[in-house]
Structure 1
Amino acid sequence: MRVVLHVGLPKTGTTYLQALLAGQRDALRAGGVVHPFVRPGAMFEGAVEVRGSAAKFGLDPARVEGTWQALCERARAFLEQEGGSTAVLSHEVLAGATPEQVHRALAPLAGLEVHVVVTARDLGRQAVAHWQEEVKLGSTASFAELERTQLRCDTGRDAGPDAGGRRPHFWHAQDFAAALERWSGPLPAGRGHLVLAPPPGAPRELLWQRFAAACGIDPGLLDPTVEVGANPSLGAAQVALLREVNREVQRLGERGSGLDAAQRHQVVKRGYAEGVLAAQGGRPARAPAALADVLGPPARRWLDEALAAGHSLHGDPDDLFPVLAGPGEDGPDVVPPPGVDPVAVARELVASARPRRRRWWRSSTP
C-alpha cells in the first residue's frame, strides 16, 4: 500500500496528468488505484490549505479548512479498508511548500508508505510559462523585466525564501532538486522520484508512461490518448495585450472601481486570458537564445543533485536542454494585436463583475 504525492512543478504537464487521473477514476479503481475525490476542486483547495495561500487565490479560508485531511482520509480508507494498492494525490501548488508545511501535510498519512513525485521541464519553456502565468495573475511585467530581475540573478539557495532571503521566485519555483529534498526529507531513502517532461513533438502519452512508472502503477490502466483539458498557453501578442489590460485594471482599482482577488482570478484569468485570448492562438513565445548559458547549467546541476540524493529518474536527461528561440526569431516581447482597445476591455471586465455584487447586496437586504 502506497500513497504517491505528486507535488508539481507547475507547468510541467500537471494539468494533463490530473485530467487523466480524474477523468478515468473508475478504470484506476478497477486496477487498485485511487485518485481521491471529496468534491469538485478539492485537490486544488487541499493544496491551497497546505500552503496557506487561500487569499492569493481568492478563496475563503473556511472553505478550504479540513480539505487536505479529508483527501488523506479518503486515500487511507481505500488502502486499508477497500483493498487498494495505491493512492495518488496531485497538485502543483504543493511544490513550493516550506519544510514546516511539508511536515503538516505528511502528518495525516503517518504509517503509510509515502512516495513523492516531482515533474520537471526544460527551463526555456518554463521561463516563458512562468512569465505568462504571472501575467495571467495580474502582472504587467515584460519578459525583459523578468530576465533582468529574476533570470539573471543569483540562482543559489543560500538566500532562498526558506532562509528569509531573496532568491528570485522563478528559481525557487523551478528548482526540482530542492522540491524533492523538502518533500522527501522526512521520508525513508528511495521515496523520491523525478519525472522529466518530454521535448516538443514527443507523443503526449510519453509523459503519462513516465509518470505511471514513477508512481509504481500499470500505465495500461487508463487511456492516455483521450482528449483532456490543458492549461492554456497564450501567443506572444496575446500576452502583450493582457499586460495592457492588467495595467488598466490596476488603474481602475486605484480609483476604487477595480476587482478583488477572487473576481480578478475568475474574470480576468479564467474568463478572459484562458478563455478568450487562449482561443485566439497566435505565435508562441520562446525565450531568447541568449539565455542558453543562463538556463542550461542550473538544470544540469539540479539533476546531478537529485541523482546523488538517490532519487529515481524517469526520462532522458537531454530533455532538460532549454528550448529557446531560433536565430532571427522574435523574443517574447511583441506589440499587442491591432484593433483591440485594452482600456475598453478592462472596463468591460470590471463591469461584468458588478452585477454579481449587486445581486448579492439585494439578496441580503431585508
Structure 2
Amino acid sequence: MRVVLHVGLPKTGTTYLQALLAGQRGSLRSGGVVYPFVRPGAMFEGAVEVRGSAAKFGLDPARVHGTWQAVCDRARTLLEQEGGSTALLSHEVLAGATPEQVRRALAPLAGLEVHVVVTARDLGRQAVAHWQEEVKLGSSLAFAELERTQLRCDSGRDAGPDEGGRRPHFWHAQDFADALRRWTDPLPGGRGHLVLAPPPGAPRELLWQRFAQACGIDPALVDPGAEVAANPSLGAEQVALLRAVNREVERLGARGRGLDAAQRHRLVKRGYAEGVLAARPGRPARAPAGLADVLGPPARRWLEEVVAQGHSVHGDPGDLEPVLAGPGEPGPDVAPPAGEDPVAVARDLVGTSGASRSWRPWRGRGGPSGR
C-alpha cells in the first residue's frame, strides 16, 4: 500500500489538482486510489497543524489539533478495507515544513510505502504569485520592494527562516530541491518526484497528466477537463488597490479599530480580494524582464540537484525558464484604478468585522455596498 504526499509548492497548480481529486473521488476509488475525506477543510487544517501555523491563518489551535492524524488514519483505513493500492494526501502548506515537522508528519504513516511529490513552476510567475499572496494576507509591499529585499538577496541555503536564519522567505518557499530533500531524507531512495507546471497557454490537463504519472496512477481515472474552482488571481490594478486598502486597515488598527488574523483572512482575503477584486478584469502582473538573470539560474541549479539526488522529473526542464514581462510592458507596480476609495473600503471592512457574514461587494465603483 502506497501513500503519496503532495506537499506543494504553493501556486503551482495545487488548487486545480486538489479540486480534481476531491471532485472525482468515486472514479479514483474504482481504480484503487483514495483521496481521504474527514470533514470539509481537513486536509488544509491537518497541514496547518503539521506546520504549527494556526495563528497565521486565523484558526483555533484546538480545532486543528489531531486533524493530521485523523487524515492519515482515514487513508490507512480506506486502503485496508477496500484493498486500494494508493492514497493521495495534498496540501501546499506542507512544503515549508522543517525536518522535525516532516518526521512528525510521517510518523502516522509508518509501515506504508510513502512517496513525496513536489510541483514547481517557473520563478517569474512564482515571484508575482508570491507577492500577490502576501498582499492578500495583509501586506502593502510594492513589488519593487520585494525585489530589493528578497528576490535580489542570496538564494543560498546557509539557513532557512524556520531555523532562525536569514534566507528570504521567497527563496525558502520556492526551493523545490530543498523541499524534496527535507521530505525525502527520512525515506528510502527513489521516493521523491518533481512535477513541472506547463508554461502559459499549454493545455491545463497536461499538469494532471504529469502529476498522475508522478503518483503512479492511471491518468484516465480523472477527467482533467472537468470544471473546477481556480485559485483567484488579481490584475495589477487590483493588487494596487488592495495594497492601499491594507494600508488603511493597518492605520485603523493603530487606532484600536483593526482586524484580527481570523477577520483579516475571512473579510480581506476571502471576501474582498478573492470574492470582489478577482472578479474584475485586469491586466496580469508580470515580473520585470530585468529579473531573468536573478530567477533563471537558481531554478536550473535546483533541477540539477534533484536529478543528482535520484528523484524522478516529470515535464520539460525548459518549462522552468522564468516567464517575464516583454519589452516595454509595464511592471507589476501600477496606480490603483481611478474612482476607487480605499479609505471607504477599509472602514467598511472593519465595520463588518463583528458580523458572521463575509464582506459584501460594492454595488458601484465609488463606495461600499448599501452606502
For the aligned pair, the TM-score class normalised by the smaller chain equals over 0.9
- Which residue is equivalent to 2:366? none
Q: Deviations over 1:327-362 (max 9, x none)?
A: 0000000000011100000111111122349xxxxx
Which amino acid letter does the alignment assign opposite residue 160 of structure 1?
G
Matches of 1:354 and 1:108 in 2, distance apart?
39
> Which has the larger displacement, 276-285 or 163-172?
163-172
- Which residue is equivalent to 1:124? 124
- Which residue is equivalent to 1:192? 192
- The answer on 1:277 being equivalent to 2:288 is no
Which amino acid letter does the alignment assign opposite residue 283 of structure 2?
R
CA positional deviation for 1:169: 0.1
Matches of 1:283 and 1:245 in 2, distance apart?
19
CA positional deviation for 1:162: 4.6
TM value normalised by structure 1: 0.97
Q: Deviations over 1:306-335 (max 9, x none)?
A: 000000000000000000000000000000
Matches of 2:21 and 2:70 in 1, distance apart?
18
CA positional deviation for 1:160: 2.3
Matches of 2:349 and 2:29 in 1, distance apart?
42
Matches of 1:198 and 1:62 in 2, distance apart?
39
**Matched residue SS, 2:345:** helix
- Which residue is equivalent to 2:368? none
- The answer on 1:246 being equivalent to 2:239 is no
CA positional deviation for 1:165: 1.3
**Matched residue SS, 1:275:** coil
**Matched residue SS, 2:276:** helix
- The answer on 1:203 being equivalent to 2:214 is no
Aligned pairs for 1:87-166 within 5 A? 87-166=87-166
- Which residue is equivalent to 2:361? none
CA positional deviation for 1:163: 4.3
Q: Deviations over 1:108-137 (max 9, x none)?
A: 000000000000000000000000000000
Q: Which has the higher helix share?
A: 1
Which amino acid letter does the alignment assign opposite residue 84 of structure 1?
G
Matches of 1:92 and 1:163 in 2, distance apart?
20
- The answer on 1:51 being equivalent to 2:58 is no
**Matched residue SS, 2:116:** strand
Q: Deviations over 1:144-171 (max 9, x none)?
A: 0000000000000013225431000000
Matches of 1:37 and 1:310 in 2, distance apart?
32
Q: Deviations over 1:237-259 (max 9, x none)?
A: 00000000000000111111111
- The percent of aligned pairs where both chains have the same amino acid is 85
Matches of 1:61 and 1:175 in 2, distance apart?
28
CA positional deviation for 1:227: 1.0
Matches of 2:144 and 2:323 in 1, distance apart?
17
Matches of 2:349 and 2:160 in 1, distance apart?
37
Task: Give structure 1 stretches of 5+ with no counterpart.
Answer: 358-366
Matches of 1:54 and 1:199 in 2, distance apart?
33
**Matched residue SS, 1:179:** helix
Which amino acid letter does the alignment assign opposite residue 221 of structure 2?
L
Aligned pairs for 1:320-331 within 5 A? 320-331=320-331
> Which has the larger displacement, 79-88 or 301-310?
79-88
**Matched residue SS, 2:262:** helix
Q: Calculate the aligned-residue CA RMSD, in Å.
A: 0.9
Task: Give structure 2 stretches of 5+ with no counterpart.
Answer: 358-371
- Which residue is equivalent to 1:360? none
- Which residue is equivalent to 2:24? 24
- Which residue is equivalent to 1:362? none
Q: Deviations over 1:4-24 (max 9, x none)?
A: 000000000000000000001
- Which residue is equivalent to 1:13? 13
Aligned pairs for 1:199-278 within 5 A? 199-278=199-278
- The answer on 1:348 being equivalent to 2:351 is no
Matches of 2:242 and 2:278 in 1, distance apart?
11
TM value normalised by structure 2: 0.95
Which amino acid letter does the alignment assign opposite residue 123 of structure 1?
L
Matches of 1:35 and 1:269 in 2, distance apart?
27
**Number of equivalences:** 357
Matches of 1:355 and 1:157 in 2, distance apart?
44
